[in-house]
Amino acid sequence: MSVSKNIQSSDYNDDELVPPEWLDVWFIAKALRDHHADPDLKVLEVIFSPATAKGDHYASIMFRAKVRYATPRGGELTTSLIIKTMPVAEGHKKDMIAGSPIFITEVGMYTKVLPELERILLQAGDHTKLFVECIYHSMEPHQVLIFKDLVDMGYFVPRDRGITEAEIRLAYFKLAKLHAASLKVQNESPQLIKGFTHGLFEMPHVLQEPFLKTGMVFFIELLDREPELNKYKPYFESIGTDFLERLIEEWKQFRNNPPADPFTTLCHGDFHLRNMMFKYEMESFEDVMLLDFQISNVYPLTIDLVYSIYMLMEPEFRWNHWEDLINYYYSVFKETLGKICYKGEMPTLAGLWQRMHQHKYYEFFLLSTFVPFMWALKDNSEDFGDILQNEDKRRLCSFSKGYINDVKIILARMDKLGYFEKT
Protein backbone atom coordinates (compact mmCIF):
# COMPACT_ATOMS: atom_id res chain seq x y z
CA MET A 1 0.00 0.00 0.00
CA SER A 2 1.10 3.61 -0.51
CA VAL A 3 0.13 7.07 0.59
CA SER A 4 0.92 10.52 -0.83
CA LYS A 5 0.41 13.49 1.53
CA ASN A 6 2.50 16.50 0.55
CA ILE A 7 0.99 19.38 -1.43
CA GLN A 8 2.57 22.77 -2.06
CA SER A 9 0.39 25.57 -3.41
CA SER A 10 -0.49 29.14 -2.53
CA ASP A 11 -4.06 28.39 -3.62
CA TYR A 12 -4.76 26.48 -0.40
CA ASN A 13 -4.81 27.19 3.32
CA ASP A 14 -1.47 26.43 4.97
CA ASP A 15 -3.00 23.97 7.43
CA GLU A 16 -4.41 21.91 4.55
CA LEU A 17 -1.17 21.35 2.67
CA VAL A 18 -0.17 18.34 4.78
CA PRO A 19 -2.77 16.16 6.57
CA PRO A 20 -2.26 15.45 10.27
CA GLU A 21 -0.22 12.34 11.14
CA TRP A 22 -3.23 10.32 12.23
CA LEU A 23 -4.94 10.79 8.87
CA ASP A 24 -3.24 7.94 7.04
CA VAL A 25 -3.97 4.80 5.05
CA TRP A 26 -4.89 2.87 8.20
CA PHE A 27 -7.48 5.45 9.21
CA ILE A 28 -9.05 5.44 5.73
CA ALA A 29 -9.10 1.64 5.75
CA LYS A 30 -10.95 1.58 9.07
CA ALA A 31 -13.52 4.08 7.82
CA LEU A 32 -14.20 2.11 4.64
CA ARG A 33 -14.37 -1.21 6.49
CA ASP A 34 -16.90 0.23 8.91
CA HIS A 35 -18.94 1.79 6.12
CA HIS A 36 -19.04 -1.36 3.97
CA ALA A 37 -19.24 -3.71 6.97
CA ASP A 38 -16.40 -5.65 5.37
CA PRO A 39 -13.44 -6.54 7.64
CA ASP A 40 -11.56 -7.96 4.65
CA LEU A 41 -11.49 -4.68 2.71
CA LYS A 42 -7.92 -3.61 1.94
CA VAL A 43 -6.74 -0.15 0.99
CA LEU A 44 -4.05 -0.25 -1.69
CA GLU A 45 -3.31 3.42 -2.20
CA VAL A 46 -4.37 6.83 -0.84
CA ILE A 47 -3.51 10.19 -2.36
CA PHE A 48 -4.31 13.17 -0.13
CA SER A 49 -4.79 16.74 -1.31
CA PRO A 50 -6.57 19.88 -0.03
CA ALA A 51 -10.31 19.67 -0.65
CA THR A 52 -11.14 23.36 -0.79
CA ALA A 53 -9.62 26.56 -2.08
CA LYS A 54 -8.13 29.22 0.15
CA GLY A 55 -10.82 31.30 1.80
CA ASP A 56 -13.64 28.76 1.41
CA HIS A 57 -13.88 28.18 5.15
CA TYR A 58 -12.24 29.13 8.42
CA ALA A 59 -13.13 26.96 11.41
CA SER A 60 -12.26 23.53 9.98
CA ILE A 61 -9.83 21.88 7.58
CA MET A 62 -10.75 19.57 4.72
CA PHE A 63 -8.84 17.02 2.66
CA ARG A 64 -9.65 14.97 -0.41
CA ALA A 65 -8.55 11.33 -0.41
CA LYS A 66 -8.38 9.45 -3.70
CA VAL A 67 -8.54 5.85 -2.55
CA ARG A 68 -7.80 2.60 -4.37
CA TYR A 69 -9.02 -0.41 -2.44
CA ALA A 70 -10.06 -4.04 -2.89
CA THR A 71 -12.69 -6.37 -1.49
CA PRO A 72 -13.00 -10.16 -1.90
CA ARG A 73 -16.32 -9.78 -3.71
CA GLY A 74 -15.89 -6.54 -5.63
CA GLY A 75 -12.27 -6.76 -6.63
CA GLU A 76 -10.27 -3.56 -7.06
CA LEU A 77 -12.26 -0.33 -6.74
CA THR A 78 -11.64 3.42 -6.45
CA THR A 79 -13.43 6.16 -4.58
CA SER A 80 -12.92 9.79 -3.63
CA LEU A 81 -13.62 10.94 -0.09
CA ILE A 82 -13.77 14.31 1.67
CA ILE A 83 -12.39 14.37 5.21
CA LYS A 84 -13.42 17.25 7.45
CA THR A 85 -11.71 17.76 10.80
CA MET A 86 -10.64 20.44 13.22
CA PRO A 87 -7.32 22.21 12.66
CA VAL A 88 -4.38 21.93 14.99
CA ALA A 89 -4.43 25.68 15.27
CA GLU A 90 -2.08 28.11 16.91
CA GLY A 91 -2.44 31.64 18.20
CA HIS A 92 -5.61 33.56 17.35
CA LYS A 93 -7.24 30.74 15.40
CA LYS A 94 -6.68 28.31 18.28
CA ASP A 95 -8.37 30.74 20.67
CA MET A 96 -11.35 31.05 18.35
CA ILE A 97 -11.85 27.30 17.92
CA ALA A 98 -11.12 26.14 21.47
CA GLY A 99 -14.25 24.88 23.18
CA SER A 100 -16.40 25.50 20.14
CA PRO A 101 -19.56 23.35 19.79
CA ILE A 102 -19.52 23.55 15.99
CA PHE A 103 -18.26 20.02 15.36
CA ILE A 104 -20.74 18.44 17.76
CA THR A 105 -23.47 20.37 15.97
CA GLU A 106 -22.39 19.19 12.53
CA VAL A 107 -22.06 15.55 13.56
CA GLY A 108 -25.56 15.69 15.03
CA MET A 109 -26.92 17.25 11.87
CA TYR A 110 -25.42 14.69 9.50
CA THR A 111 -26.02 11.60 11.59
CA LYS A 112 -29.45 12.28 13.15
CA VAL A 113 -31.31 15.38 12.01
CA LEU A 114 -30.77 15.54 8.25
CA PRO A 115 -31.57 11.84 7.70
CA GLU A 116 -34.84 12.33 9.59
CA LEU A 117 -35.74 15.42 7.56
CA GLU A 118 -35.13 13.52 4.32
CA ARG A 119 -37.23 10.62 5.66
CA ILE A 120 -40.14 13.03 6.29
CA LEU A 121 -39.90 14.36 2.75
CA LEU A 122 -39.56 10.91 1.20
CA GLN A 123 -42.58 9.65 3.12
CA ALA A 124 -44.57 12.36 1.34
CA GLY A 125 -43.18 11.35 -2.04
CA ASP A 126 -40.60 14.13 -2.13
CA HIS A 127 -37.17 12.84 -3.20
CA THR A 128 -35.25 16.05 -2.50
CA LYS A 129 -31.71 15.40 -1.26
CA LEU A 130 -30.79 17.68 1.62
CA PHE A 131 -27.24 16.48 2.31
CA VAL A 132 -24.33 14.48 0.97
CA GLU A 133 -23.83 11.03 2.50
CA CYS A 134 -21.59 10.88 5.56
CA ILE A 135 -19.84 7.51 5.57
CA TYR A 136 -17.91 7.88 8.84
CA HIS A 137 -17.77 10.13 11.89
CA SER A 138 -16.09 10.21 15.28
CA MET A 139 -15.50 12.63 18.14
CA GLU A 140 -12.65 10.77 19.86
CA PRO A 141 -9.71 10.68 19.63
CA HIS A 142 -10.19 12.98 16.63
CA GLN A 143 -13.15 15.06 15.53
CA VAL A 144 -13.74 13.92 11.98
CA LEU A 145 -16.45 13.53 9.35
CA ILE A 146 -15.94 11.67 6.06
CA PHE A 147 -18.23 12.28 3.09
CA LYS A 148 -18.57 11.04 -0.43
CA ASP A 149 -16.91 13.50 -2.80
CA LEU A 150 -19.47 15.74 -4.51
CA VAL A 151 -16.92 16.72 -7.17
CA ASP A 152 -16.91 13.10 -8.34
CA MET A 153 -20.68 13.42 -8.75
CA GLY A 154 -20.39 16.49 -10.95
CA TYR A 155 -20.91 19.24 -8.35
CA PHE A 156 -18.79 22.38 -8.19
CA VAL A 157 -18.41 25.65 -6.27
CA PRO A 158 -18.69 28.76 -8.49
CA ARG A 159 -15.42 30.65 -8.02
CA ASP A 160 -15.02 33.01 -10.96
CA ARG A 161 -18.51 34.51 -10.93
CA GLY A 162 -21.44 35.39 -8.72
CA ILE A 163 -24.57 33.34 -8.24
CA THR A 164 -27.28 33.46 -10.91
CA GLU A 165 -30.98 33.98 -10.29
CA ALA A 166 -31.73 30.36 -11.22
CA GLU A 167 -29.13 29.19 -8.71
CA ILE A 168 -30.54 31.42 -5.97
CA ARG A 169 -34.00 29.99 -6.60
CA LEU A 170 -32.79 26.41 -6.34
CA ALA A 171 -30.84 27.27 -3.20
CA TYR A 172 -34.04 28.72 -1.70
CA PHE A 173 -35.93 25.63 -2.90
CA LYS A 174 -33.60 23.43 -0.83
CA LEU A 175 -33.69 25.78 2.16
CA ALA A 176 -37.50 25.85 2.10
CA LYS A 177 -37.61 22.04 2.13
CA LEU A 178 -35.18 21.92 5.06
CA HIS A 179 -37.17 24.54 6.99
CA ALA A 180 -40.51 22.86 6.30
CA ALA A 181 -39.43 19.38 7.38
CA SER A 182 -37.74 20.90 10.44
CA LEU A 183 -40.93 22.76 11.38
CA LYS A 184 -42.82 19.46 11.33
CA VAL A 185 -40.16 18.00 13.65
CA GLN A 186 -40.36 21.06 15.90
CA ASN A 187 -44.14 20.61 16.09
CA GLU A 188 -44.26 16.82 16.56
CA SER A 189 -40.94 15.64 18.03
CA PRO A 190 -38.96 18.70 19.17
CA GLN A 191 -36.57 16.63 21.28
CA LEU A 192 -34.69 15.70 18.09
CA ILE A 193 -33.52 19.29 17.60
CA LYS A 194 -33.77 20.58 21.16
CA GLY A 195 -30.03 20.90 21.72
CA PHE A 196 -29.29 22.96 18.62
CA THR A 197 -29.05 26.39 20.22
CA HIS A 198 -25.54 27.54 19.33
CA GLY A 199 -26.08 30.48 17.03
CA LEU A 200 -23.35 32.88 15.94
CA PHE A 201 -23.87 35.27 18.86
CA GLU A 202 -24.12 32.55 21.51
CA MET A 203 -20.54 31.29 21.26
CA PRO A 204 -18.19 33.00 23.74
CA HIS A 205 -15.18 32.47 21.48
CA VAL A 206 -16.92 34.27 18.60
CA LEU A 207 -18.01 37.19 20.79
CA GLN A 208 -14.35 37.89 21.54
CA GLU A 209 -13.56 38.38 17.86
CA PRO A 210 -12.29 41.92 17.12
CA PHE A 211 -14.17 42.12 13.82
CA LEU A 212 -17.48 42.14 15.70
CA LYS A 213 -16.58 45.47 17.27
CA THR A 214 -14.67 47.23 14.51
CA GLY A 215 -17.27 46.78 11.75
CA MET A 216 -19.59 49.46 13.12
CA VAL A 217 -16.64 51.78 13.85
CA PHE A 218 -15.50 51.65 10.23
CA PHE A 219 -19.10 51.96 9.03
CA ILE A 220 -19.55 55.24 10.92
CA GLU A 221 -16.27 56.47 9.42
CA LEU A 222 -17.75 55.73 5.99
CA LEU A 223 -20.94 57.66 6.78
CA ASP A 224 -18.79 60.62 7.80
CA ARG A 225 -16.75 60.51 4.58
CA GLU A 226 -19.66 60.29 2.14
CA PRO A 227 -21.81 63.46 1.96
CA GLU A 228 -24.80 61.50 0.69
CA LEU A 229 -24.62 59.29 3.78
CA ASN A 230 -23.98 61.99 6.41
CA LYS A 231 -27.65 62.11 7.38
CA TYR A 232 -27.45 58.55 8.76
CA LYS A 233 -24.38 59.21 10.90
CA PRO A 234 -26.19 60.59 14.01
CA TYR A 235 -28.39 57.50 14.23
CA PHE A 236 -25.53 55.04 13.99
CA GLU A 237 -23.41 57.08 16.39
CA SER A 238 -26.27 56.86 18.89
CA ILE A 239 -26.24 53.05 18.78
CA GLY A 240 -22.56 52.55 18.03
CA THR A 241 -21.26 52.60 21.60
CA ASP A 242 -23.38 49.64 22.64
CA PHE A 243 -24.22 48.15 19.24
CA LEU A 244 -22.98 44.65 20.03
CA GLU A 245 -25.05 44.57 23.22
CA ARG A 246 -28.15 45.66 21.26
CA LEU A 247 -27.49 42.98 18.66
CA ILE A 248 -27.12 40.24 21.27
CA GLU A 249 -30.27 41.40 23.06
CA GLU A 250 -32.21 41.29 19.78
CA TRP A 251 -30.87 37.76 19.22
CA LYS A 252 -31.90 36.65 22.70
CA GLN A 253 -35.43 37.99 22.26
CA PHE A 254 -35.97 35.78 19.23
CA ARG A 255 -34.26 32.83 20.89
CA ASN A 256 -36.81 33.06 23.70
CA ASN A 257 -39.82 32.88 21.39
CA PRO A 258 -42.31 30.24 22.55
CA PRO A 259 -41.71 26.77 21.03
CA ALA A 260 -45.09 26.91 19.26
CA ASP A 261 -44.05 29.98 17.27
CA PRO A 262 -44.89 29.10 13.64
CA PHE A 263 -41.62 30.52 12.33
CA THR A 264 -39.29 28.78 14.79
CA THR A 265 -37.52 25.94 13.08
CA LEU A 266 -34.06 24.55 12.42
CA CYS A 267 -31.99 27.06 10.46
CA HIS A 268 -28.92 26.33 8.35
CA GLY A 269 -27.12 29.19 10.09
CA ASP A 270 -24.52 30.02 7.42
CA PHE A 271 -26.43 30.14 4.14
CA HIS A 272 -23.97 31.62 1.65
CA LEU A 273 -22.48 30.73 -1.73
CA ARG A 274 -19.36 28.95 -0.48
CA ASN A 275 -21.55 26.60 1.56
CA MET A 276 -23.28 25.08 -1.43
CA MET A 277 -22.25 23.18 -4.56
CA PHE A 278 -24.08 23.16 -7.88
CA LYS A 279 -24.55 20.53 -10.53
CA TYR A 280 -25.39 20.95 -14.21
CA GLU A 281 -26.30 18.20 -16.67
CA MET A 282 -25.82 19.01 -20.38
CA GLU A 283 -25.80 22.74 -19.51
CA SER A 284 -29.14 22.39 -17.70
CA PHE A 285 -29.31 23.24 -14.01
CA GLU A 286 -29.86 20.02 -12.09
CA ASP A 287 -29.17 20.38 -8.38
CA VAL A 288 -27.60 22.25 -5.49
CA MET A 289 -26.28 20.58 -2.35
CA LEU A 290 -26.15 22.53 0.90
CA LEU A 291 -22.98 22.13 2.96
CA ASP A 292 -21.50 23.12 6.32
CA PHE A 293 -24.09 22.73 9.06
CA GLN A 294 -21.68 23.80 11.83
CA ILE A 295 -23.87 26.53 13.30
CA SER A 296 -27.30 25.12 12.50
CA ASN A 297 -29.68 26.09 15.27
CA VAL A 298 -33.36 26.35 16.18
CA TYR A 299 -34.37 29.96 15.59
CA PRO A 300 -36.90 31.97 13.55
CA LEU A 301 -36.30 30.92 9.94
CA THR A 302 -36.08 34.56 8.89
CA ILE A 303 -32.51 34.61 10.20
CA ASP A 304 -31.45 32.42 7.26
CA LEU A 305 -33.37 34.62 4.83
CA VAL A 306 -32.00 37.93 6.12
CA TYR A 307 -28.49 36.46 6.08
CA SER A 308 -28.95 35.26 2.51
CA ILE A 309 -29.91 38.71 1.25
CA TYR A 310 -26.51 40.04 2.25
CA MET A 311 -24.33 36.93 2.01
CA LEU A 312 -25.78 34.93 -0.89
CA MET A 313 -27.36 37.37 -3.33
CA GLU A 314 -25.32 39.35 -5.79
CA PRO A 315 -25.81 43.12 -5.29
CA GLU A 316 -28.15 43.38 -8.29
CA PHE A 317 -30.52 40.84 -6.75
CA ARG A 318 -30.20 42.41 -3.29
CA TRP A 319 -31.19 45.77 -4.76
CA ASN A 320 -33.89 44.83 -7.26
CA HIS A 321 -35.22 41.29 -6.86
CA TRP A 322 -34.96 40.34 -3.21
CA GLU A 323 -38.69 40.52 -2.51
CA ASP A 324 -39.59 38.25 -5.45
CA LEU A 325 -36.93 35.75 -4.40
CA ILE A 326 -38.11 35.65 -0.77
CA ASN A 327 -41.70 35.24 -1.99
CA TYR A 328 -40.54 32.31 -4.12
CA TYR A 329 -38.95 30.73 -1.05
CA TYR A 330 -42.24 31.09 0.82
CA SER A 331 -44.24 29.46 -1.99
CA VAL A 332 -42.03 26.35 -1.80
CA PHE A 333 -42.07 26.40 2.00
CA LYS A 334 -45.88 26.56 2.17
CA GLU A 335 -46.36 23.91 -0.51
CA THR A 336 -43.96 21.55 1.26
CA LEU A 337 -45.70 22.02 4.62
CA GLY A 338 -48.94 20.93 3.00
CA LYS A 339 -47.32 17.97 1.27
CA ILE A 340 -45.76 16.60 4.48
CA CYS A 341 -49.03 17.07 6.45
CA TYR A 342 -47.74 19.69 8.87
CA LYS A 343 -50.39 20.09 11.58
CA GLY A 344 -49.18 23.19 13.40
CA GLU A 345 -50.07 26.83 12.84
CA MET A 346 -49.39 27.71 9.22
CA PRO A 347 -46.88 30.55 8.82
CA THR A 348 -48.35 33.27 6.60
CA LEU A 349 -46.59 35.36 3.98
CA ALA A 350 -47.62 38.53 5.83
CA GLY A 351 -46.18 37.10 9.02
CA LEU A 352 -42.96 36.23 7.23
CA TRP A 353 -42.47 39.77 5.99
CA GLN A 354 -43.30 41.19 9.39
CA ARG A 355 -40.57 39.02 10.89
CA MET A 356 -38.12 39.88 8.12
CA HIS A 357 -38.13 43.51 9.27
CA GLN A 358 -37.66 42.71 12.96
CA HIS A 359 -33.97 41.85 12.68
CA LYS A 360 -32.75 45.39 12.17
CA TYR A 361 -29.65 45.17 14.37
CA TYR A 362 -28.72 41.92 12.67
CA GLU A 363 -29.12 43.65 9.31
CA PHE A 364 -26.98 46.54 10.54
CA PHE A 365 -24.34 44.00 11.55
CA LEU A 366 -24.37 42.22 8.20
CA LEU A 367 -24.26 45.47 6.22
CA SER A 368 -21.52 47.07 8.31
CA THR A 369 -19.36 44.04 9.05
CA PHE A 370 -19.81 41.17 6.56
CA VAL A 371 -20.86 42.87 3.33
CA PRO A 372 -17.54 44.76 3.04
CA PHE A 373 -15.76 41.39 3.20
CA MET A 374 -17.96 40.02 0.42
CA TRP A 375 -17.00 42.91 -1.83
CA ALA A 376 -13.31 42.31 -1.06
CA LEU A 377 -13.63 38.59 -1.86
CA LYS A 378 -15.22 39.21 -5.26
CA ASP A 379 -11.93 39.18 -7.14
CA ASN A 380 -10.54 36.22 -5.13
CA SER A 381 -7.51 38.31 -4.13
CA GLU A 382 -8.28 38.19 -0.41
CA ASP A 383 -8.76 35.33 2.06
CA PHE A 384 -11.71 35.53 4.46
CA GLY A 385 -9.63 34.35 7.42
CA ASP A 386 -6.94 36.92 6.71
CA ILE A 387 -9.51 39.72 6.57
CA LEU A 388 -11.04 38.65 9.88
CA GLN A 389 -7.68 38.81 11.62
CA ASN A 390 -6.24 41.95 10.00
CA GLU A 391 -7.72 45.26 11.15
CA ASP A 392 -6.08 47.28 8.36
CA LYS A 393 -7.60 44.99 5.72
CA ARG A 394 -10.99 45.21 7.39
CA ARG A 395 -10.84 49.00 7.32
CA LEU A 396 -9.91 49.05 3.63
CA CYS A 397 -12.84 46.75 2.84
CA SER A 398 -15.21 49.37 4.21
CA PHE A 399 -14.29 52.03 1.65
CA SER A 400 -14.47 50.28 -1.72
CA LYS A 401 -16.54 51.96 -4.44
CA GLY A 402 -18.85 49.00 -4.91
CA TYR A 403 -19.53 48.69 -1.20
CA ILE A 404 -20.29 52.40 -0.84
CA ASN A 405 -22.89 52.20 -3.59
CA ASP A 406 -24.38 49.13 -1.91
CA VAL A 407 -24.66 51.01 1.39
CA LYS A 408 -26.41 53.96 -0.27
CA ILE A 409 -29.10 51.73 -1.77
CA ILE A 410 -29.65 49.58 1.34
CA LEU A 411 -29.77 52.49 3.81
CA ALA A 412 -32.34 54.28 1.64
CA ARG A 413 -34.49 51.14 1.74
CA MET A 414 -34.07 50.79 5.49
CA ASP A 415 -35.06 54.45 5.88
CA LYS A 416 -38.34 53.82 4.01
CA LEU A 417 -39.01 50.84 6.27
CA GLY A 418 -38.64 53.03 9.35
CA TYR A 419 -35.48 51.41 10.74
CA PHE A 420 -34.13 54.75 11.98
CA GLU A 421 -37.19 56.02 13.82
CA LYS A 422 -36.13 54.62 17.20
CA THR A 423 -32.83 53.85 18.84
Residues for the chain: how many in total?
Answer: 423
Q: Cα(420)–Cα(408) distance, rounded to whole angstroms?
A: 14
Please write the tens of the pLDDT for every residue from 130-159.
Answer: 999 999 999 989 999 999 999 999 999 887
Query: Above 50 in pLDDT, residue 244?
Result: yes
Half-sphere exposure of 54 (CA within 13 A, CB side): 18
Please write the tens of the pLDDT for every residue from 86-132.
Answer: 876 554 444 445 567 889 999 999 999 999 999 999 999 999 999 99
In whole angstroms, what separates CA 143 from the centre of its chain?
Answer: 19
| Exposure letters 86-101 (e unless 16+ CB within 10 A, then b) | bbeeeeebeebbeebb
pLDDT at 315: 96
Q: Cα(277)–Cα(267) distance, rounded to whole angstroms?
A: 18
Q: Tell me the average pLDDT across 192-220.
A: 87
Report whether 288 contacts 176 (CB < 8 A).
Answer: no
When comparing pLDDT for 55 and 365, which is higher? 365
Q: pLDDT > 70: what percent of the chain?
A: 89
Domain ranges of the chain: 2-88, 102-131+157-416
Q: pLDDT > 90: what percent of the chain?
A: 68
Report whether 403 contacts 182 (CB < 8 A).
Answer: no
Band (260; pLDDT cuts 50, 70, 90): confident
In CATH, which of 3.90.1200, 2.60.40, 3.40.50, 3.90.25 is domain 102-131+157-416? Answer: 3.90.1200
Q: Which secondary-structure segment (H or E) carries 325?
A: helix 322-339
pTM for the full predicted model: 0.90
Of residues 166, 19, 140, the one with CA closest to residue 81? 19
